[in-house]
Chain A
Amino acid sequence: MFHQTATRTLVLLIALAGLAIYATSGGYFAREIVVEIAILAILAVSLDVAAGFGGMVSLCHGAIMGIAAYAYAILTVKLGLPNLPAAVLSLAAAAIFGTLVGWITGRTTGIFFIMATLAFGQMAYTTIFKSRWLGGDDGIGSLSRFDLAWLGIDLDDSLVFALYALVLLALVYIAAAWVLRSAFGRTLSGIHANEDRMRALGVNTVIHRARALGFSALLAGVAGILAAQHTLYISPQLLFWTVSGEVLIVVILGGLGTLIGPLVGAVLFVLLKHQISDYTDHWHIVIGLILIATVLAGGRGLYGQVEHMLARRRPAPEKPAPEKPGPEKKGLSHA
């Protein structure tokens, strides 16, 4: 069950402040990196809502992000809608796609769920890739950012855009944390822990999970719109399954089910990628080995491991009651 602990809030504030300072003091390249981090972090936070708290290890979050980006491009470039309502509709499109995938796959679990999300993601990818109207492999260009001149904000300025990306990241984190702390989020964790019991308590677990994937997709949609506004050009590569795989890696490296961990993971992932790329263009091997090591080390991820160590150092607040020996032992090994 989710708890927004003081440590997590502190890490969030430090990360946001650090990135803001980096964008402000750094040049154009630093701002590009900050935006890249924000996009990946939003996607990772959204995936953590589904995978970490709902147990839905999705391999279609890249596709969901891409659907929002394409919806934004279609509505603005092809249909001439103003940017702001187009963005709202694009988020809705992502959320609907996520809810549908969640509903259709509602009874599949484990590897079948992973494969099913892969199938739906690739379906979206191939559809767009093959569509001549959507530019196929070439994608869609000449997108534009929000016109916030009435607020005195110019999003075409690279620093302003980087800060705007960080604001979106903060909003997505707050929305995710808020919903995870709500009755809905707590019930989602309950379903993840013990679906059978949750059903017996009167919760339609299939619909609940579908809604959760829809909410997660809504957040992923924010990453999609940000990505579209960032490069002002989108291509089907955004939807390819390896993008989803990479986001899953970020979530795992940061700490599945901690919400802040994936954000930290995104920061480190992007920085590491650029750092390693300075020395060699073989950064995949480094990430691959780190990933394997992380999973073999227990899969808690960086932030998860830190939290785990902090929790162990602190004395337990409750004294565990003595276990009763005897036949009852059998019932204990449930989880």
Chain B
Amino acid sequence: MDAGFWVLQLLNATQFSMLLFLLSVGLTVIFGLLHFVNLAHGALYMLGAYVGISVAASSGSFWAAFILAPIAVTAIGAVLYVTLIDRLRGAGPMNQVLVTFGLIFVFLDVVRLLWGDVALSLTAPKSLSGAAEILGVSYPAYRLFIIGLGAVVMASLWLVLSRTQIGAMIRASVENEAMAAALGINVGRLFFSVFCLGCALAGLAGVAAAPIVSATTGMGISILIPTLIVVVIGGLGSLQGAILGSFIVGFIETFGAVLLPGFAAVLIYVLLAAVLVLRPEGLLPARG
């Protein structure tokens, strides 16, 4: 195991962390803002991948898929919000868990009906199909692109949240919804926008991941748990928490698989349980 090996693992861990970030940031803000537990978030990620594959197949362009898949998933999210999510906001965590668990089932079979049970893959665009030399290691350019994508989303969200009025509104509403409404913020519209943004990011993560993991009907469920862990570890509703949580989970899973095979997968649950019991507000909670 030379230095190159470790650089490779470092890059893999970063790339996985970025993917987790794209998924968890939407989930965590929805969680923090709407107090809504959306187990179907992973299913939206899966839909992003499948829609992307179809768009790419019919248009012949990866970039068309890259743009259209998040838009399609956002549209699905908007319909979900209007039909289900909004009326379940005050219904308590159990009902939310149940309904979104039901949605997982529904989306699972919808995907099987439309795309079948076979794993599908998406080819990375030509411009990113090669490998790049980084720190003396040859690394797939497409994976570097995902790292860059995550960094760009991270930076833009941070700018929006900390520098813009809508960001201030979101932060105010996470901290105190009643107060935000009293200050004249249209909380309903804000919730809707944030939910759609979360869905768009899930769709983006799906289509971005498709060239690496290939699309299967199980992908939504298998990514859901690590994403939930990121959200809980980081702290509900917190951008910094989502960033920290993504890197913790991404690095433990990647390096754990190398250093402590067998134990790493358990480690992540031990960490989750420890945070839940000792620090249920998460490591970087959004609320003071």
Say if the two chains contact directly (CB < 8 Å).
Answer: yes
The chain A residues found within 8 Å of chain B, CB to CB, are 51, 57, 104-105, 107-108, 110-112, 114-116, 118-120, 122-123, 126-127, 129-131, 241-242, 245, 248-249, 252, 282, 284-285, 287-292, 295-296, 299
What are 30 A-to-B residue pairs whose CB atoms are below 8 Å? A104-B273, A111-B93, A112-B280, A114-B94, A114-B97, A115-B272, A116-B273, A116-B277, A118-B225, A118-B228, A119-B269, A119-B272, A120-B273, A122-B225, A130-B261, A242-B221, A248-B97, A248-B98, A248-B101, A282-B109, A284-B108, A288-B104, A288-B105, A288-B106, A290-B102, A291-B98, A295-B99, A296-B84, A296-B87, A299-B98
Contact check: which of B92, B105, B263, B269 meets A287 at CB < 8 Å? Answer: B105
Query: Which of A119, A241, A249 is the most central at the interface, judged by chain B CB atoms within 10 Å of its CB?
Result: A119
The closest CB in chain A to the CB of B262 belongs to A130
CA A285 to CA B112, docked complex, whole Å: 10
Are the C-beta atoms of A292 and B99 separated by less than 8 Å? yes
Given known A119-B269, A123-B269, A288-B109, contact A296–B99 (CB-CB < 8 A): yes
Answer yes or no: B276 CB below 8 A from chain A CBs.
yes
Are the C-beta atoms of B109 and A291 separated by less than 8 Å? no
CA A120 to CA B94, docked complex, whole Å: 18
Contacts of A282 in B (CB 8 A): 109, 112-113
Interface bracket on B:
35 or more
Contacts of A295 in B (CB 8 A): 88, 91, 95, 98-99, 102
CA A261 to CA B276, docked complex, whole Å: 32
Are the C-beta atoms of B110 and A285 separated by less than 8 Å? yes
Q: A248-B97, A299-B98 are in contact. List 7 more A-B contacts (CB 8 A).
A: A104-B273, A110-B93, A112-B280, A282-B113, A288-B109, A291-B99, A291-B102
Contacts of A51 in B (CB 8 A): 94
The chain B residues found within 8 Å of chain A, CB to CB, are 37, 84, 87-88, 91-95, 97-99, 101-106, 108-110, 112-113, 221, 225, 228-229, 232, 261-263, 265-266, 269-270, 272-273, 276-277, 280
The closest CB in chain B to the CB of A132 belongs to B262
Are the C-beta atoms of B280 and A288 separated by less than 8 Å? no
Are the C-beta atoms of A116 and B276 separated by less than 8 Å? yes
Are the C-beta atoms of B269 and A122 separated by less than 8 Å? yes
Are the C-beta atoms of A285 and B225 separated by less than 8 Å? no
Are the C-beta atoms of B109 and A284 separated by less than 8 Å? yes
CA A119 to CA B88, docked complex, whole Å: 25
